[in-house]
Each structure stands twice: as structure tokens, then as C-alpha cells.
Amino acid sequence: MVTASPISPDFRLLFESAPGLYLVLLPDSPKFTIAAVSEAYLRATMTERVAILGRGIFDVFPDNPDDPGATGVRNLRASLERARDLRKPDAMAVQKYDVRRPADEGGAFEERYWSPVNSPVLGPDGRVAYIVHRVEDVTDFIYLRMRGIEHERRADDLIARGQRLEAEVFQRAQQIQEANRQLREANEELTRLKAELEERVRERTAQLTEANDHLQAEVDARLRSERELWRKREKLRVTLESIGDAVIATDTRGLVTVLNPVAERLTGWAAADATGAPISDLFRVVNQHTREPVENPVARVLADGENAELARGTVLIARDGTERPIDDSAAPIRADDGTLLGAVLIFRDVTERCATEDALRRERTLLRTLIDALPIAIWTKDADARFVVSNPAHVELVRAPDEAAVTGKTGFDFHPPDLAQEYHEDDLRVLRDGETVFNKEELVRDPEGRERWHLVLKTPLRGTGGEIVGLVGASRNIQPLKETENALRASEAMLRGAFEDSNVPMVITALDHRFLRANAAFARLFGYTQTEMLNMSTADVTYPDDLPESYARRELLLAGASHFVQHKRYVHKDGHILWGMTSVSLVRDERGHPALYVGQVQDVTDRKLAEEELRESEWRFRAFFDATTAGMVELSPDARILNANQAFCRMIGYTEEELRTRAVSDFVYPEDLNEVLRQYEHIGRAEGASYEADRRYRRKDGSTLWARISVVAARDATGRPVRASAVIIDISDRRAAEESLRVSEERFRLVVDGVRDYAVFMLDPGGNVLTWNAGAERLFGYPAAEIVGCHYSAFYRSEDLDAGRAEEELRLAVLRGRFEDEAWQLRKDGTRFWGGVVITVLHDGSGELRGFTKVVRDLTERRRLEDQFRQAQKMDAIGRLAGGVAHDFNNLLTVINVSGQLLMEQLPPRDPGRRLVKEIATAGERATALTAKLLAFSRKAIVEPRVLDLNEVITQSELLLHRILGEDVRLATALDPNLRPVKVDPTHAEQIVINLAVNARDAMPRGGQLTIETRNVTLREEDAVTYPELPCGRYVLMAVSDTGTGMTDEVKARIFEPFFTTKEIGKGTGLGLAMVYGAVKTHRGHIAVYSEVGVGTTFKILLPVTDETRPGPRSGELRTVPRGAETILLVEDEETVRRLARLALEMHGYTVLEASGGVEAVRTAVEHPTPIHMLVSDVVMPVMGGREVAEALRAQRPGVKVLFVSGYTDDAIVRHGIVEATDAFLQKPFTPTSLARKVRAVLDGTE
């Protein structure tokens, strides 16, 4: 393939656009996998590309299983193996290979006939890489041929059926008359029997009426009982179906009798299957914890006769293996007298209850885990103030070794008596009064005397009914806080002096939130003077929405808290909002009563705004990080994974927790690792801010992830990298598609380059050739180096270029997207061929025109075959006309010839009328010869083939040929001495030779040479293209060549048409070559003509070889006609012919019985008392034909001889059951002498 443009050819499109039926197969015998297929092939076989690619051709197209004689698979496999082994194309004969219709159309096989050729495609190593399987669908040709035969057979069947029907109707009429008589007699007898029967029926009816009354009373009682039973059963059924529990009833043997719908669902048994089955099969239970089988409760009830109480903790195993936790119980079923009738089992699905209990246990476990993990001491006590639960912090607080040492004891066991009593009183307030002890500061003293301050919370623990069942306590160590408060009080005096001069805004507030004192910094912060501040309160400078929280926090101080820190908003004097971090402490007097608040405010407005912006930024980043479909990863400076979004987790197959324990090196392919680390270190050394690359990563399941990665480093203020962010995009599909495209392009490039039956090439938008395959070079004759870059108009004839055909094809292709046509194509050497053209438009991704693909196929041979087929149809139609005309002539000529000969025999020798009668006879003979030509042309004449040597026919005809050719034409022969025998009618063989010689003589008016040649030939499968109608085998070739004027293509196309002639009017009938054509086809042969104007013409005839041996020479015929005395039944519907035939037979001594039709002939034979020796009958007659007459007569008179005569063709005779060479036959027209000789020969058994 030579390419003149950077445009990559779409070889797949080129191949699939080919108009022919093509498959590309892998040479992997015996499968022969389908690698590619053309659209035309898919349409012809009713398949889809996705359904057949990658499958073996014989899997997709098997033999029709309904056709035991199918050989398509065997023949195709043999041809493919020959093409692969011999590395050259292998052509097959026409094959019957049925095709399966699509599933939505029934999936049945459709009969098809194909003409296949298998061509190997060699790879770079010289081995067969692919096999191109090309087929032609010739089904229509085969069907047309079969349809004609079928139509003729049906017509014969209809005629025969009509004749048989007429005879049957006559016979049935007689049978009906006899049947009517018998029916009358039977009717009289039936009338008598009817009267007797009626009397008996009346007597029996009276008896039955009495018995029926008794029976009806019994039935009514029985129905009432059944209705009551049904009502009770229906009530039981409705109850069982509506109950929510599963119910199973058994008999005393433990066999199931009742199974309600709930039991059906839980056990998986249908009631129909369960009834009569042992209960142990339906109800299989195991212990929920030990998995050991549990005794069936029904078995216990049947054994003990007592109820089996409710059981829990069991698991029911259903029929399909499904397991469900259940509660079950069983009870006996007893009769009224106490007799045990069986047992009833009731159980329910407790799956939801078990799930709830499991959830509760999990929640308790979680709660206990949480309590144990808290750093503060947590405990619970019961209603007697004894410890129940104690977390590790509480165990450590009371200095106990473990929780068990605490459980069940009171505070008196761990604290000094005075403190224990105080704690106990608090417990009683909670347990007795339901109060909550909130943030109480308690002094805790351990047994060693050390004291610590704790902040304690106690709250009541209530039961499900709201009653107090215990308490929950929590204690936090506030000793460090207490020490801080003491230190603050000590430094208060010192700080008071610094209050006014401090740059920190500070304020002292009364308990009602009025400002008592504010330093200058505090007044400046809000834009007021210190004096103005003294007339204001906290509410005047606090943002209204934050005021409730501020008050609430101060209430906590009043309740015992030491101080609080609050971020809140303030309002400046000018109205703008300030953010302040406020720290407020409660100052108590010497008695511990709240006195005032001391607070300080730090202006954090700028920091707050920055924090808000940072949170907003972090929120946006995190939302993008989690929502994006691209993988995102944050990496540490040493290339370890810090965070990964879900998109990357899905790509790589790990969870985010698993990724945080790994480094980049854990996923990169070893061969890529050094490059990855080098690039990472490169941005780490500030040699680059980022990098991008395509990388391979190994997923958790071991598969490969191809990704496009972009890495950016984040640095601190010093420029040191603190982390890196990576964005990963999965390009695995793209890489796989690129690799698949590369392999596909290479495969289809190899296929397109290897296809030699098609020219496949590409054009740029202007029509210049871009690519050129081997098939194009073979078809057009241009090497690639010579044609690439040239305009494709070089392939068009001058008249097509003048008409603008080349530009119009591209315009129509652009308009329609595709252009298809058939036209003459011009080769480099100036010769032309008939080509099928397909042009496909190529667009790029944006829809812009990039060029065209053009596929050209040589259809010259197909066009020739189609012309031959049309010619054959025309010849067949004219042949039918000729056969019909010949039949009418034969009847007329029979009358003329018989009358003439009889009249000639009656005239004296010197009678002047004999000359006129002789002229009549001569004209009859000429008309007979003309009719024979018509029959030979139409292939309807009765054929009497014999085994003969064509060399002898030609040698015996040489003397006659010399007289026909004259002195100006030389006759030369080249006869094969070892020529094989053929089976041909001798008359037809002579007519073929003579007619071809006459045709050659007329083509050489100034003389020349006529050459007749014979030789043996053998046709093989590869010859099927040239001789599609001939099977493979041995043939004899006869070639007749002249050096005459030759013929144009127009004349050559019509030479075998009857009555077509190029001679002057009166110089020829136009039947000579038509007769030759008909005779050759009659003997299953082939005729072809090759001619060049000014050079000459050659006719080549192929006739099949026969394996039969030649019979010995016949003895000469007697010149005298022997007479006879036998009785002959003559059947002829043409009155004149019948009368003359009777006269001729009677003149030769025969007794003749005459009949005008088949029915009359049968009646005459039945009525004639003496023997009938022979039947002479026309073949085709109304109502009853000759074959039916012969069969009827032979049934009566088995030894009778039969002679058929007819003016119809052999086609009609065969359709009426008379096969050539099996029954004696005489063709009309005949003479009295020929009739008499034929009759005598049949009677004597020499025929």
C-alpha cells in the first residue's frame, strides 16, 4: 500500500463498503474464525456483524439439519483447506448452502445457492494470514430453472388428475346406484325394528322413573351433609389463611395433613407437595447457638400426648436452605372421646425481633465502650445507692483495683465518713426527690489524705414506667482550675492597678449587666468615652442575636462556674459589627456570693473574617474534592498518601483508609518507579511547580490502570514543599481503544492489501488518489508509484469525462453520504471492464470533509452470465412457440404425406398426375425438414442418443462438407486419435457439423480456411466461473474455426436467436445456429463463440463423455414393407389423420379397430371378443390420454403391444408418462411406409 497523504486510511470502512459478499477468515482449521465481514454479506445472509465476528464460519453457518443430503460444510471446508495449503485461490462449483433466518423471523433455514471463491492473503512472512471468502448468490438463477420444471410438472399432474377424476366419477355413479338400492332395503328393516324398540323403551322408562325417585331422595340427603362439611372446612381454611402464625397439622404417624399459607412461605413447601410428607421433612430446626438439631415438637406431642411449650432460640431450615429464627409450640388434636387424632404445630418468624435484640446488644456495647473511653469518672447506682457500673476513670478515682471491687458497694466504702455522708445526702436528693445535682464542686479526699476538687453531676435514672430506679453520676477533676482561681485572687490587687493602663479592653459589670467600670481601651474599642460607658450595659454593645447566649453563660457563672470564654459580635457606636473574644469571670465576695463580673475583650474581627474565608474555601475545596469524577490525592513530601477522594478509590480499588497507609511506590509499575520518583523529587527541589504524565498503576485486584496524572506542589512561606496535590484521570478505555484501533487498522490494512478481487483506494476531497492496493493495481494496471497523487478521472472513458461523470459521482456521494453504480472502467492499457463502484464519504470529528473511499469490482463476467441468462430465457420462450407450431404442422404434414404416398401407389407408372403428386411429396418432405429444425432448435424433438465417436461423424461428413464449402474454402481437421466417446443423437451431431460449416462458408465470401478440431478436456472446480452450468468432469471439445469476416459484439449477442440472420432476404432462414444451440443444450453441453472483426470466428462445443460402450453395427433395413394379419386398436382424436392411418394399416393386411378418444377405445376393447394384438395411440388427447389408454388395455389384455404417435414435442410426451427409449414411439408426420414398418417392428419385438 502506498500512501501520499498523512490521512490514515480507514481500511475497515473500505472493506465493509465493498459491494460484494465477502468474509475474512483466520486460517485456524477446523474452525476458520470470522475476522471481518462486508455489509453486502450481512444483508445476503440475514446476520449482524456483532453476532458472527470472532466465531467459526461453520458455527455461524451450519448445514441445514432438515436436509440429510447437505454437503455445503464439507465442500466449503475442503476448499478453505486447499486455499490455505496451496496458497492460491480455490474456486468452487455452485453449492446448495442453506442460511438460517433471524430468530425474530422464526429461525428456520432458507434455501440458498452460492458460487464461492476462497483466496488466501499472505502476511509479511509469506504465510497465510487470512482467507478471503467471496461468494455470488445464484439462488434466483437456480429457482428460475426449477420453477419452470415445476410449472410443467404441475400442468401434467392437473391433466392426468382430470382424466382420472372423470373415470372415477363414472365408476362412483354406478356404485351410488347400487348403494341406493341397498339403503332402501335397510330402511324398511329399520322401520320395523324402530317400532319394537319404542315399545321396549316405554316399559324400561317406567322402571327407571321409580328407581330415580328413590335415588334422588338419597342424593338430596347426601348433598345436605356435604354442604355442612364444606362450610366447616371453608371456615377452617379461612381461619388458617388469615392467621398470622404458621400452622401445620399431622396425623398420628406424623404425616402432614394441613399446611396454611404462612407455613408454606416459611418452610418453602407447597401444600400439594407437603401433604402426606413426614413432618420431619418440612420442619427441620436447630439450636440457634450450638447448631445442634432440636427434637421435633410434634414428635414429643405424639409420643407423650401433652402440649409442647413455647420454645425459643431455634432456627428453622426451609426447603431451599433459607434459615429463620422462630418461636414454636405444639399441641395434640383429640376426638370428642379423647382419642389422639394427630398434632398441630404453631410457629412464627421472629427474625425482626432477633434483629432488634441484636441491635440493642450492639448499642449497649457501644455505650459501654464510650463510657469506658471517657476521661471523666462515670458511675451508676441502684435505688439503694450501691454502685452498679463504674468506668475506669471512676475506678481510679476511688482507688479500687477494678470495677468488680466497686460493684455492690457504697461511697462509705471508699471515702472518709464526713465526705461519704455528704455524697450520700446528695444521692438521696436524687433518688428520693428526683432532683439533679448540677456542677457541684466537691472536695474529694482519698484514703491517703490527699484532697482534690471535683465538679460533680448527678441525675436520676428512671425505668420504663418513669419510676426512679437509680442514678447516673459524673465527676471531673477541677483541681487545676481551683488553683488558678486562687492565683487570680492573689494577683487581683496587682491587676487592678494595671486595669486602667492596660491596652486590653477590660470592663467590670454588675450582676444586672450594667457597666460599673471600663478602661480606656474598652471605651475606644466601641467608640464611646469612659463616661458614656458608665451609663450603658452589656445589652447596649452586644449584637442582639448573641445576647441570649451571653446571658446564659453568665447564669452558669452564677450557678457555680468560674469563668467562660465566648466569641461574640458587638455593635460599634457608628453601627458596624465587631467580633470579639470575650473572657468573663464571676467575682464573689468573702461569703462566696456573686458580686460582679470582670471581662475583657480581644478584637478578633480580622481573624474571624479570615477564618470565615478559610472555612468557605476549605468547604468549596472539600465539596469539589469529594464530588469530582476525577481522582484526587494529597501527598506528603515523602510521596505517601494523606487523603484520597472516592473517585480515586474506585479507580484503584482500595478504600481511603487503606490508601492512607500506603505510598505512591506501592501502586506504580516497577519499570516506571524511577521516573515517577525523579519527577516527584524534581518538584520537591523547587525545580518545577508541577508535572503531567501518563502512568500505569496496579489496582488492588492486580489489573492495570492507565491514568493521566497532574501533580502540583504546595509550599510554605519559606518555599519548602509541605504537600502535593495530584489529579488522576482514568484513560484505560482510551489506551485500550488506541491499542484496539492499532491492531484493527493493521489487520484491515493487511486484508485490504491482500484483496485482489477489489480495487480499494482513497481520494482526497479534490479526487486525487491517496492510497492504492494490490487489487487496484491488478484491475486498472497502474502501479502505486505511478497513480498515487493523480486524479481519479484517469479511469473514465472520454465520453464519460465529457459528460462530467467523475465530478458528478463525488457530488452525489457528498450529497447522499454514499454512491453506488455500475459503469465501464478504463484500464491503463486502454481496455475496459464493467465495474461495480462504491464511493463512501469520510468526515473528521468536526464533520469536515476529509476525502473518499472508493471500491471497484470487476463485474464483466457477471454481466456476461446475466446476458446469457436473459438469452436463455428468450430462447426458451421462442422454443415453446416453435414446438407448438411444429405440432400443428406435424398433423397437417401427416395428412399430406400419407395422402401423397397412397395416391402415388394408386396411379399407373406413366400417369401424368404422378409428377404433381411427386411435387406434393417433395414439398411435404421439405416442410417436414423445416419442422424438424424447429423441434431441434426448441429442444423438443424426440431424441435417440447413441454412443458414437465425433471423429467418425466428422470424417463421414467430409465429402459432403467439401461440396458445401466449394473450391475457395480449404477444410483442415485436427482430430484427437484418443478421443473419448459421447452419447449424442447421430442426426443432431451431423446437423451441428454441417450448420457450423455452412455458417463459416457464408462468412468467407472470398475464400479462406475452415478448421475442425477435437480433443479431450477435463473441467475442475476452478473452471466453474467459465462454465457455470456444467458440472466438473470429462468432456469432448469440438472447435470449428474460420478465417472469415468475424462478428461485432452486437451481432455475436444475437446469433443464436431463431430467425436472426445477417444475410439478404431469401438467403437464409435464421434457424441454422439456433438449431445448433438447441441440439447442444439438449445433450447437456455448452457452446461458446469467439470472434474478431476481420480475423475470424471460432465456435467451441463441449459435450459430456459417456462410459457406455458402443453397440455393434445394425443390419440394413428391408426395402420391402412386410405385411401382417394382426388386430390393431387405433386411437387418434384428429379425424383426418385417423382415417388415413387406418387406410395405410388395412392396405398392409391389418384388422383395424378405430376410436376417436381414450374412453371410446377402452369401451371398444371391452366389447371386442377376439384378441387385440397392438395399440397404436396418440399421446395427447382430451379426457383420457394415450398412457391411460395403454394402462387400461394392458390391465385387460396383458400381452398387448403399444406404439405411441404424436405431433407434440418430447416435453409433452415426457409429461404424459412416456419416456424416450422405453416405449415405442413414432413422430408425426409419418408416411404409410414408416407407419407400417414401425408397427411390424413392434409386433416382432425388433423395436
What confidence score (pLDDT) does residue 1104 get? 94
Q: Phi, psi (5° rounding) for residue 998? A: -65, -40
What confidence score (pLDDT) does residue 1073 get? 80
Identity of the amino acid at 196: E
Q: Phi, psi (5° rounding) for residue 474? A: -140, 140
What confidence score (pLDDT) does residue 640 get? 83
Sign, CA torsion 43/48/53/57: negative
Q: Phi, psi (5° rounding) for residue 276? A: 90, -10
Residues of the chain with pLDDT under 50: 1-8, 169, 939-940, 1066, 1114-1119, 1211-1212, 1214-1215, 1217, 1219-1221
pTM above 0.85, yes or no: no
Q: Phi, psi (5° rounding) for residue 1040? A: -120, 115
pLDDT, tens only, 952-964: 989 888 877 887 7
What confidence score (pLDDT) does residue 1106 get? 92
Distance, CA of 835 to CA of 823 (rounded, Å): 6
Distance, CA of 497 to CA of 394 (rounded, Å): 44
Distance, CA of 1146 to CA of 337 (rounded, Å): 118
Which structural domains are found in the chain, ordered by start? 19-137 (3.30.450.20), 243-355 (3.30.450.20), 393-477 (3.30.450.20), 481-610 (3.30.450.20), 628-736 (3.30.450.20), 755-858 (3.30.450.20), 944-1111 (3.30.565.10), 1127-1244 (3.40.50.2300)
The four Cα atoms 136, 137, 141, 144 give a dihedral, to 10 degrees, of 180
Distance, CA of 1133 to CA of 1131 (rounded, Å): 7
What confidence score (pLDDT) does residue 1153 get? 94
What is the distance, to the nearest Å, from the Cα of residue 33 to the centroid of all Cα atoms in its chain?
Answer: 17
Angle made by CA atoms 1068, 1073, 1079, in degrees to the nearest 5 = 135
What confidence score (pLDDT) does residue 748 get? 62
What is the distance, to the nearest Å, from the Cα of residue 727 to the centroid of all Cα atoms in its chain?
Answer: 41
What is the distance, to the nearest Å, from the Cα of residue 120 to the centroid of all Cα atoms in its chain?
Answer: 29
Per the structure block, which three cell numbers stand in for 423?
455524697
Distance, CA of 20 to CA of 862 (rounded, Å): 12
Tally of CB atoms within 10 A around 534: 14
What confidence score (pLDDT) does residue 1042 get? 93
Distance, CA of 206 to CA of 211 (rounded, Å): 9
In terms of C-beta density within 10 A (0-12 exposed, 13-18 middle, 19 or more buried), how is residue 360 classed? Answer: exposed
Nearest to 727 by CA among 701, 702, 695: 695
What confidence score (pLDDT) does residue 1129 get? 94
